[in-house]
Amino acid sequence: MSKNHEIKVERREDEGKGASRRLRHAGKVPAIVYGGELKPVSIQIEHETIWLASQNEWFYSSILDLSLNGDVQKVLLRDLQRHPYKQLIMHLDFQRVSDNESLTASVPLHFVNEETSPAGKSAEVVVTHELNEVTVSCLPKDLPEFISVDLGALELGQVVHLSELKLPAGVEIPQLKLSKEHDVAVAIAKHAREVEPETPAATDEAAPAAEDASKDESK
């Protein structure tokens, strides 16, 4: 179950691109809270506060407590917009959650005991992680910050499937209800010779062509 993560916010009165630009110059981030029976509310958050929070894994998969002058609303982060090249957060979308209503969220996978497994100890075996996160459904109180994938017994040729994950009580994976084809691989232990090498970014043959093109442009 997730821990409590409180983030202090302020109500935002002015809206529009100009108002958002002024907010960012003042070191704040515009955001919106929506969902539930209440109307959407525009808020603002100190950039340093939200930037530090965004460096943590829990920020993207946990229930967050947005505190507006002591009024706390439980939300999930649904969208985060970053500046294309600066270390700046431009805008955030939060969705309200209800204690009595099931929600859907992406939860990160933590692979453990890989190094001590038969596959992990062999130099001839490569263990690939096919998924980094999984979408789960549960009540807010049951939402885990992550799901552990124990690879301690993994051997060459074995595949860990989605259906083999040990889920906390009250948590399920909606994808598994669709069909057997959706029971995809989470981790695979392959022989090193089966893993294809990465394709080089550029070949030697491309260099002369690039030089010829450069000469043509200079004429």
Where exactly are the structural domains of the chain?
5-96, 103-194
CB-count exposure of residue 146 (10 Å: 0-12, 13-18, 19+)? middle
pLDDT digits (tens, 9 = 90+) for 156-206: 989 999 999 999 999 999 999 988 889 999 999 998 776 655 555 554 544
Structure tokens at 115: 């190094």
pTM of the prediction? 0.76
Q: Which CATH architecture does the domain made up of 103-194 adopt? A: Beta Complex (2.170)
pLDDT digits (tens, 9 = 90+) for 119-151: 888 888 899 999 999 999 999 999 999 999 999
pLDDT digits (tens, 9 = 90+) for 64-86: 999 987 789 999 999 999 999 98
Q: Which CATH architecture does the domain made up of 5-96 adopt? A: Beta Barrel (2.40)
